[in-house]
Structure 1
Amino acid sequence: MAPRLLVHTRTTGYRHDSIPAGIAALRTLGDFEVHATEDPAALEQPLDAYAAVVFLSTSGEILTPAGRERLAAYVESGGGFVGVHAAACTEYDWPYYGDLLGARFARHPPHQPGKAVVEDHDHPATRHLPAVWDFTDEWYDFRTNPRGRARVLATADESSYEGGGMGADHPLVWCRGHGEGRVFYTALGHAREAYEDPAFRAHLLGGVTWAARLPTP
């Protein structure tokens, strides 16, 4: 049986029009059975059947109290969690979620070209990337720097675009352990075009397979 992913896309704040493209990409990236849902009740059910839970550009408060308990228990006991782009704009009223993800969204400049600097190539999400990755995105700033609580894989070069607000150390992609589980987050993925980009698709696949403890193709 193919590994199952629960891809949650509920939004109660800003909604990205790239969400359908992200779901379509996840359905075609690997040998996954993807259950995509907007229903918060899906997180209230046992999650052990899933190799990973993916929050794909979620926003605002999206979980019920029971869903919060299920997600926390799932990751603590060894489940995989993947946050993509606006997943960092999610569950501000739940302190645990900020600890789980590693940082929370603060602001972003306009969507524009820039450069991501890969500082750790020893990870499935970044091993295929050049040392400096030219990309177009929103270049999220975060309320706190996750370094020290997470393994930073790539940072934003603020000199390569306008409006950066974190300075010389601006983590953009990271992973971390949480309880017995694994957490991967990428701030990239704003536009539909990202999910057609081979380098980004491989980046996303590497993050999912790492969090889910699956072999990387």
Structure 2
Amino acid sequence: MTSTVICRSAALLLLLLVPSSLATNAKILIYSATADFRHDSIPTAVQALQSNGPSFDIQFENTEDKAQFTDQTLAQYDALLFLDNTGEVLDDPAKVAFQNYLNLGGNFIAIHAASDCLRNTTFYGHEVGAFFDYHPALQNATVDVIDNSHPSTSMLPAQWHVQDEMYNFKSDPRTIGATMILSANESSYTDTGTHLDQGIPHPTAWFQERGAGVEGDALAGRSFYTSLGHLNETWQDDLFLAHVFGGITWTLQSNTTLAFNSSAQVGNPLASTSSTTSPSGTSTSPALSSS
């Protein structure tokens, strides 16, 4: 059996066996609106998240309607997940509601092109960690695991061979307190562009124990970002899904939302810290879809 098969088998075991102890009736809103380039893998990604969510006791709902960004609506979720967003995908009232949600302990997850939206919104740049700059052509590359103790990397080989876009960023996410967990191995692919000061080693995925997008001394949830996830095929790969769900479940364990903390100010109001049964109800809003 090859090392790749072993890794994928381990990833599948993680998906099936570990999740029930990580999250309790958590509810996550996937926001996949785009204003510029649109990835054709977005429907595949949404389907992968929603179909695997019940294994983790997570209910995913999906919207591309910025009107859903109100204090009342966002307060129902234990995390917001920005998926492949590009351009100005929120108006000013929606940004205010987003900021309020983060200030109340809301958690944040961002995947792939989500670092390329709301480019002039400072709190968003801090919450995601860094804004996208450019990427070389899609190609085979090696990603080095910097920290294999994190739930999003513990199943990965030390050198993870992928076909994806190796993102470059406009700043170093470590300057706002992010911890690096994956790094693009620059010797493994071709990039003829000019890097800005994004730090060394090359940032590819990271986390923030306290999301830097909160205002002042407000309560901060966790933040997780991975720049991988370009292709439809990537979202059908067990190892990649284990990486993503490891990041999601880690983020939910911030203890700042109702999935784990009955005193929290945001999160699924139906969540129970003693129950392991996922909620069966779906949203009544026509702008939201759930698994």
TM-score of the superposed pair, with normalisation by structure 1: 0.93
1:161 corresponds to which of 180, 183, 189:
189
Aligned partner of 1:103 in structure 2 is 130
Q: Which amino acid aligns with 1:188?
A: L
**Conserved in 1, the CA contact under 8 Å of 2:135 and 2:166?**
yes
Q: Does 1:18 align with 2:20?
A: no
Shift of 1:20: 0.3
Q: Does 1:44 align with 2:60?
A: no
Tell me the secondary structure at the aligned position of residue 187 of structure 2: helix
Aligned partner of 1:131 in structure 2 is 158
Tell me the secondary structure at the aligned position of residue 69 of structure 2: helix
- Where structure 1 has 5 or more consecutive residues not aligned to the other structure, the ranges are none
Distance 1:72 1:86 in 2: 20
Shift of 1:76: 2.4
Tell me the secondary structure at the aligned position of residue 39 of structure 2: coil
Q: Deviations over 1:46-83 (max 9, x none)?
A: 21221210000011001121211111121222111010
Tell me the secondary structure at the aligned position of residue 116 of structure 1: strand
1:29 corresponds to which of 38, 52, 73:
52
Shift of 1:29: 2.2
Q: Which amino acid aligns with 2:206?
A: W
1:151 corresponds to which of 176, 179, 191:
179
Q: Deviations over 1:73-97 (max 9, x none)?
A: 2122211101000000000121211
Aligned partner of 1:4 in structure 2 is 27
Q: Deviations over 1:76-132 (max 9, x none)?
A: 221110100000000012121111111000000111110110111121111111111
Q: Which has the higher contact order (CA 8 A, sep 6+)?
A: 2
Distance 2:96 2:152 in 1: 28
Moved more, 10-19 or 77-86: 77-86
**Conserved in 1, the CA contact under 8 Å of 2:71 and 2:101?**
no
Shift of 1:45: 4.2
Aligned partner of 2:202 in structure 1 is 170
**Conserved in 2, the CA contact under 8 Å of 1:7 and 1:35?**
yes
Tell me the secondary structure at the aligned position of residue 181 of structure 1: coil
Aligned partner of 2:235 in structure 1 is 195
Percent identity of paired positions between Structure 1 and Structure 2: 37
Distance 2:30 2:70 in 1: 14
**Conserved in 2, the CA contact under 8 Å of 1:157 and 1:168?**
no
Shift of 1:168: 5.0
**Conserved in 1, the CA contact under 8 Å of 2:140 and 2:189?**
yes
Q: How many residues align?
A: 215
Distance 1:59 1:108 in 2: 14
Tell me the secondary structure at the aligned position of residue 246 of structure 2: helix
Aligned partner of 2:250 in structure 1 is 210
Q: Does 1:61 align with 2:51?
A: no
Q: Which amino acid aligns with 2:36?
A: G
Distance 2:242 2:115 in 1: 21
TM-score of the superposed pair, with normalisation by structure 2: 0.70
- Where structure 2 has 5 or more consecutive residues not aligned to the other structure, the ranges are 1-23, 215-219, 254-258, 261-291
Larger strand fraction of residues: 1
Q: CA RMSD in A?
A: 1.7
Structure 1 residue ranges (4+ consecutive) displaced by more than 3 angstroms after TM superposition? 164-168
